[in-house]
Chain A
Amino acid sequence: MNWRVLSIGAVVTLPLVALLASGFGRDPKLRSNALEGRQAPAFSLKTLSGEPFSLASVKGKPVVLNFWSTWCQPCKIEHPVLMGAAESYGPAGVQFVAVLYQDEPAKAQAFLNRSGAHWPTLADPGGRTAIAYGVAGVPETFFIDKDGRIVRKVSGPVSQAIMVTTLEQML
């Protein structure tokens, strides 16, 4: 037994295996929750029907800000959750806002007409607002509290459970 070879081999290989093993169970999807706990970036956009909407105009209300597009399948899975939450928490003062991400307004309007959602859906020319929020894919949802602070960011579809617990905390 050549002990030098053995020890060099062990030093090279064991940490590598340990590292790869610890990679399991981690979600390699890039997260961008850098904004959590910070003031929500302001924006002033127009809805698909052309009316102006700014974050400042709903100050004092908790806001659920959802980035989505019609070409994203998970967004369609998420849609009923948003519909349900808007129905039950809208009257309680929660403002639901959607921002269209890299999509054609006409397609989005057609989709919304079919689903019957009635929260403001904003066009985002040049994707500026999405960049200001560090959106790295859709859907992404930001929960903004009454003081305009981002309390939580969810990448991927929001589940019913997360929606409810987060909104209860914010109210």
Chain B
Amino acid sequence: MPDPVAPSAQPFSPASASDYLPGPQLRALQLSRLQATVARAYERVPLFRERCEQHGVTPAAIQGLDDLRHLPFTVKDDLRETYPFGLFASPREEIVRLHASSGTTGKPIVVAYTHDDLAVWSEVVARTLSACGVHPGDTVQNAFGYGLFTGGLGAHYGAERLGATVIPISGGNTERQMMVMRDLGVTTLCATPSYFLHLLERAHAAGLDWPNLPLRVGVFGAEPWTEAMRQRIERESGIRAYDIYGLSEIIGPGVGSECCAQQGLHIFEDHFYPEIIDPATGEPLPDGEEGELVLTTLSKQAMPMIRYRTRDITAIIPEPCDCGRTLRRIQRIGRRSDDMFIIRGINVFPAQVETALLAVEGTLPHYQITLARQGSLDQMEVAVEVTESVLSDTVGGMEALRKRLADALEHVIGLRVGVRLAEPQSLPRSEGKAKRVIDNREG
């Protein structure tokens, strides 16, 4: 006798997931979902309708995926200004979950989910874990924070949906994390990469024997990390470390994930449509070019996001992946367009400055960028703190260092900029995000 079961109760099968849809079929699915999402938002979200009217577009303008470019962007401030419920597209009684950002700067933002949204979320996180080599029957220690943050519950329901055993330990309490990892046969850890590095350091001291642990996979996200960090994690712990991508405004974790190839992150583009734009002009860029990632949700009900500007800088990798997934990939994200500034028509990121300083000195010194206007010309100066390893006892030695730094910066940025050597500990430091760029230009 067939049992009427909810779709989410059926066993999850990665092979039947939409990761492998042939291109034309995927594009057709995206277009029909996009048209439905735009119509829903237009009908139910006053801010979106107003913006469309200002732009002179209606949902009927969406005849193909390329027509997305005619629609207005959504930015984080839109969520703040309509706080708490202004962008909801479902009646309150259909909303079964709310999450919120911590709101360290100004108002927090609130995001909402219907039953179906939660089912989609679980599915994309299950596909994330599957792409990272996690299987039904694996034991997942979930050290993402549980609560208003989307990381903990997002990973939790995704792991259950996959058919893994979840240990909902949340973040913190390193001793207990290590005990659980050792005693409960944990094969997979979900955490921020920096927390895992902390665990790694503490575990060595506590005598935790990495090679003899069953831990095999690390699923790392919620903060940017580097390829160098991955190599250190994999070398010291013997696990495979995967980068995942997500943001609460779109759904939480589950927007994109690396696969066994570890060459970029597949976007689950049957649910989230990616575009890359020039952050200065807003114009879409072709696949392969670097710019700001813009995401449009294709199936979200409670809170559809149309052309949400993530501020994350990346490029779409159009080439097919070795793993066989047909989903397009993005490059690993290392910088944000918030940090970008323009000098004499050139887009500059602090990350580029860091690359140059690192190339000269071997380690990254503390630095600060100051922009000023002299006459009609913009000037950029990079102040770099002198450290013991680069200190010379001659003026000639220090001038040579200054020239090497200026040459390296010119090579990376394409512009000759001023370099000022500064005393150690003399540049301002701030909690968390250091204030790297001081813009003294007027207007």
**B and A form one assembly:** no
